[in-house]
Amino acid sequence: MQRFILSKKNHIMLIGAILIVIGFTAELGFKNEAIAVLCLAIASILGVAPIAIQAYQALKVKVVSIDVLVTIAVVGAFLIRNLEESAIVTFLFLFGAYLEQRTLNKTRSAIKELTEMAPESALKQTATGEFEEVEVDDVDVGDVLLVKTGAKIPVDGTVLTGEGHINEASITGEAIPVGKKKDSHVYAGTILENGTIQIIADRVGEDTTFGKIIELVEEAQDSKSEAERFIDKFSKYYTPAVLVLAIIVWAISKDIELAITILVLGCPGALVIGVPVSNVAGIGNGARNGVLLKGSEVIHYFSKVDTIVFDKTGTLTVGNPKVTDKVIYDDNIDEVLSYLASVENESDHPLARAIVEHIGDTKFYSVEKTDVVKGGGVVANIDGHRVAVGNVVMMEQENIHLSEKSREDIANLERAGNSLVLTSVDGELKVLMGIRDQIRPGVKEDLQKLKRLGVKNLVVLSGDNQGTVDLVAKELGLTEAHGHMLPEYKASHIEDLKAKGHIVAFVGDGVNDSPSLALAQIGIAMGNGTDVAIETSDIVLMNSDFSRLPHALGLTKATSANMRQNIVIAVGVVVTLLTGVFLSEFVNMSIGMLVHELSILVVILNGMRLLGYKLRR
């Protein structure tokens, strides 16, 4: 029965409204008090039923909720035959709950839109080679799927055949279609705008990037910040305090109507709902714009950040370096380059890929006894030779003699902004390569936006040589630049910044810089939709789009400000109403409930403004 009544709250609210209109029409228009009393009494009884059930359920778990206060107030008003106010209060309370639910659902529109984008079916290849439509839950890793123009990609996968352009807005927030061809990666929930492709399923169901994004946004929207936890704790004691105050007022004044009015006016509804709605709307805006915020604690800390530390390669730069200079110190260069290509071919480091691409077609040797020197390079045995590939520090550790000419070449390449890769064979320097990466387009302007948003320190930490790092810092207007930084040195530097009282955010790739991402108050990953980025950081910039960073900071600041505004509105309304009931004759129970519900609507609408937030120029 309780469940049935609660499921019909909106119908009860509508019936109550009709009865109230009939009651007042009968009394004021036709002077028929009997019909007016009957209608208002029925409206009061019907209206208080769902409220009383919610109050009972709250008391069962030892919580004095807002519903308890309203139930006592309505029953009291009914008993003293103040039927107009009891009927109006129940209607306004139910109507306020209806509006609250409607508007809260709108603030959760981002997650709703995401779930609606989730694919439901797929064209799966059978044993006969034909394609049949199946539920997406029936797709397994390794299955071959056919995707036609206009269809959603059902899983994360790799293109086997065909070409097309895919709208990846559900993953990156960017609506411009991305070209895909053989061996390109595709993501579940994205839409093939033209072309036909066959893909092999790499990840399915909740393991897809899209599935993880939905899970992340849901968890973030349900998380609670320190402010929310305080308000929950505050309301736990505040609501019984209002009840005690009403009892004291009744005991002193003997005015039951005044005591009942205080119960209604003291309801902390706007205070309880104001902060969560700001949090949910802010996270929803981020999800729409390719910024994943992992909860309201992240919003709190990032809004106060004063120092942002960046990794260089792949963050401030494109992450696609090219060999720009090469100095040879040996006559038999082809064999040395083959050794170098053989070593670097086993690495997926951007510099290694640049070297292999530059050398091109060559003979590849078997690489034995590989020893990776952390932050330095690689030492390996190839065809009976000891080959060392790495930076200057590693060459010195290997006791490789660097002549005056080679040191001069090193200095020249560093001044030109190159990352250096030196290659020695059997203890002798053979090749020096200068590799340069390009600054990400628009990064300088984005950094200026961060400064305007209140970030005082912009720091770059890189394992690259100091000369290259200094050039990048000078070009971008950074406040600090530190080169030759191993991962442990980066982590130590972040600890030093925190010890000085700075609130630090670290922006990296989510893989090599995981210690720094973990140590900073806020870890920000240039995500590109990867599992590692999503799992290891507090904020993910989808598609590795650096321009999302100023939006993320501006959004968290706007969200924090919005939370404070809602708290002020909520507290201000309660204080004003409680003051008015003692100092004014105009504040009664009905007016108090009306203002109370309006205050809830105001804080919700104020929070919803965040859904349309855009960083101002």
Could you give the count of Cα atoms lying within 13 Å of 491 in the half-sphere of its Cβ? Answer: 11
Q: What does R_g of the chain's alpha carbons equal in angstroms? A: 33
Instruction: Show the tokens assigned to 71.
Output: 């139930």
Q: Which of 133, 134, 119, 295 has its CA nearest to residue 210?
A: 119
Spatial neighbors of 157 by CB under 8 A, at least 6 apart, are: 145, 185, 186, 199, 200, 201, 202, 203
Task: Confirm if 485 and 493 have CB atoms less than 8 A apart.
Answer: yes
> If you search the block for the tokens 């802010």, which residue do you land on?
282
Token pair listed for 149: 């123009």
Q: Which residues, listed in sequence order, are joined to residue 121 by a DSSP beta bridge?
A: 135
Let me know: does 413 contact 324? Beta carbons within 8 Å.
no
What tokens does 563 get? 């939370």
What's the rounded Cα separation, in Å, for the pair 288 and 549?
A: 14
Q: Look-up: residue for tokens 């020249």?
A: 412
Report the C-alpha gap between 411 and 225 in whole angstroms: 51
CA distance 400 to 388: 9
259: part of which helix (H) or strand (E)? helix 256-265
Contact 560, 303 (CB under 8 A): yes
In sequence order, which ranges of 61-108 are alpha helices (DSSP H)?
66-79, 83-107
DSSP state, residue 155 = S
Active-site choice (67, 311, 464, 545): 311
331 catalytic per annotation: no
Token digits for 21?
């209109």
CA dihedral 106, 110, 113, 115 (to 10 degrees): -110
How far is the first Cα of the chain from the last one, in angstroms, to the nearest whole number? 56
Let me know the angle formed at the C-alpha of 276 by 272 and 281, rounded to the nearest 5 degrees: 145
211: part of which helix (H) or strand (E)?
helix 209-222
* Cα atoms in the Cβ-side hemisphere of radius 13 Å centred on 228: 20
What residues are paired with 432 via a beta bridge? 327, 422
State whether residue 307 is helix, strand or coil. Answer: strand
Can you point out the beta strands (E) in 297-366?
307-311, 322-328
Strand segments, DSSP code E, in 426-497 are 428-436, 457-461, 480-482
Give the 3-state secondary structure of residue 403. Answer: coil
Name the residue with tokens 């993910």: 540
3-class secondary structure, 166: strand
DSSP secondary structure letter of residue 317: B
The helix (run of H) or strand (run of E) holding residue 445 is helix 443-452
Q: Is there a contact between 137 and 145 (Cβ–Cβ < 8 Å)?
A: no
SS (H, E, C) 562-575: HHHHHHHHHHHHHH
Q: Are 378 and 370 a contacting pair, CB within 8 Å?
A: yes
- Catalogue the active-site residues: 311
